[in-house]
Amino acid sequence: MVHKYLRSGAAMAAAAAVAVSVAISAPASAAPGDGGSVDPITLLPPGFPCIHTNVYPLPVLDWGWRNLEANAPTYQEGSAGTGNGFLNLHAEPGTQTNFFHAGIDTPLSDLLRPNSLGFEHRGLTTFQLRIRGADRIDNDWYGFTTLVWQPSSNGDEGLNQWWNSDDLASGNWRSTRDIEGLPDDNVSTLTLEEISDANPDAQVTAYGVSVGTAQSSPQDGFADDVRYGCARWDFEPLPAGSS
């Protein structure tokens, strides 16, 4: 039997999913000044729907969080992070474990304010933004790149203890593709404002957390309390007695 507040949460998640679906599928209208209206997507605040909620390992109650072409994390009980649980993103050698949520094509420039991006983390966990519309050096205008915030480029924050990184936008980010102003060399980094200035059409299609490289040893990392614009996500195991 599922607890009554989980059933209520399911209804909320379903309603939010419908709202997001409508927003994403709504056709773009003409630009202001030519007799049309503003594209409805541009009217949505970053992170829509604006909620602070728990994410459970259960359909619908996962609020659309998914692993992308990699291993899925596990929900672990514990007092670290926020609430009673967190994500365990352990990755075996040569593999990757990640968890992503749709970014509803949010302009990268809308995420530059302090506290627009943040999370609690420990170990080798990275925060990632999947981007389209960046000026790729290979001129693949339809391809994406991933912007990566990682501890080793940011003073080893959270490498050996739980850490609340609450202003990722001002941190150092690398790119997984050569884009304007930022080559993919695993060394060069820029702030999101610098990346946005060099790539004004960049939009976030997905955001999430990840652990894993081509290293020959296992990689460990944990994450919780992911913040993206006005959305905030706490990852929790199912309460005892639910099913």
pLDDT tens for residues 145-163?
999 999 999 999 999 999 9
**173-175 sheet: strands from edge to edge:** 97-107, 203-211, 126-132, 144-149, 173-175
Relative to beta strand 117-123, strand 163-165 is antiparallel
Number of domains in the chain: 1
Mean pLDDT score, 73-78: 93
pLDDT in tens, 119-138: 999 999 999 999 999 998 88
Q: Which domain holds residue 85?
A: 4-235
Write the CB contacts of 84 (distance below 8 Å, at least 6 apart in sequence).
Answer: 77, 78, 236, 237
C-alpha 124: how far from its chain's center? 16
Whether residue 143 is contained in a domain is answered as yes
Average pLDDT, the chain: 83
Whether residue 240 is contained in a domain is answered as no
Q: pTM for the whole thing?
A: 0.82
Inter-residue contact 180 to 198 (CB < 8 Å):
yes
Mean pLDDT score, 42-57: 87
Whether residue 242 is contained in a domain is answered as no
Is pLDDT of 107 > 70? yes
Inter-residue contact 105 to 205 (CB < 8 Å):
yes
Whether residue 243 is contained in a domain is answered as no
CA–CA distance, 204 with 127 (Å, rounded to integer): 13
Mean pLDDT score, 175-201: 95
Inter-residue contact 16 to 8 (CB < 8 Å):
no
Counting residues of the chain whose pLDDT is more than 90, the rounded percentage is: 65
| Helix spans in the chain (H) | 4-25, 40-43, 192-198
Whether residue 71 is contained in a domain is answered as yes
Q: Which residue has the tokens 């999370």?
A: 119
